[in-house]
């Protein structure tokens, strides 16, 4: 098993600390398998904009995190990744909610890949859909 996948499994299991930014926002890694990742978070007033709804950048961060997690499961030893672009469609306003973001790798090429992500609330309403182009770094 590549070291990346071993590290991801330890973060999901809670035996290795998550990156600081995920703890700061409240993102939890809940599932990971080859080409797939799931993260969750509970939205409260600290995540809202002046209109009282979830700030869009938090949704983008959630999507970016889970898409990086999913793409990371495809990496081999000696490889890392960077996002070349992220696109998010915001589909539903959120106030307080439990969000689940699930990402799947559409294509993991030798250098460039594509990942898609759906973010849903506790009623399984689609809140946002995102996609990303990733680059494998060697």
CATH number, domain containing residue 71: 3.10.129.10
pLDDT at 7 over 90: no
The rounded Cα 10 to chain-centroid distance in angstroms is 16
Q: Which pLDDT score, from 0 to 100, does residue 34 have?
A: 94
How many domains is the chain partitioned into structurally? 1
Q: Give CA–CA dist 52/101, Å, rounded.
A: 21
pLDDT at 1 over 80: no
- Stretch 34-53: mean pLDDT: 96
- pTM score of the predicted model: 0.94
The DSSP code for 118 is E
Using a CB cutoff of 8 Å and minimum separation of 24, what contacts does 19-25 make? Answer: 21/61, 22/65, 25/58, 25/61, 25/62
Domain hosting 82: range is 3-137
With contact defined as beta carbons under 8 Å apart, do 16 and 7 qualify?
yes
State percent of the chain over pLDDT 70. 99
Mean of the per-residue pLDDT values for the chain?
95
- Name 98's bridge partners: 42
pLDDT at 2 over 90: no
With contact defined as beta carbons under 8 Å apart, do 112 and 134 qualify?
yes
């Amino acid at each position: 098993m590549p070291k990346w996948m071993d590290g991801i499994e330890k973060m999901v299991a809670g035996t290795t600390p998550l990156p600081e930014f995920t703890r700061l926002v409240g993102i939890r890694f809940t599932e990971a398998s080859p080409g797939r990742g799931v993260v969750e978070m509970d939205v409260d007033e600290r995540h809202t904009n002046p209109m009282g709804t979830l700030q869009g950048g938090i949704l983008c961060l959630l999507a970016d995190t889970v898409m990086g997690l999913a793409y990371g499961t495809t990496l081999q030893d000696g490889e890392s990744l960077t996002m070349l672009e992220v696109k998010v469609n915001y589909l539903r306003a959120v106030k307080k909610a439990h969000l689940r973001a699930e990402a799947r790798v559409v294509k993991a090429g030798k250098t460039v890949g594509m990942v898609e992500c759906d973010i849903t609330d506790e009623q399984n309403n689609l809140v946002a859909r995102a996609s990303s182009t990733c680059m494998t770094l060697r």
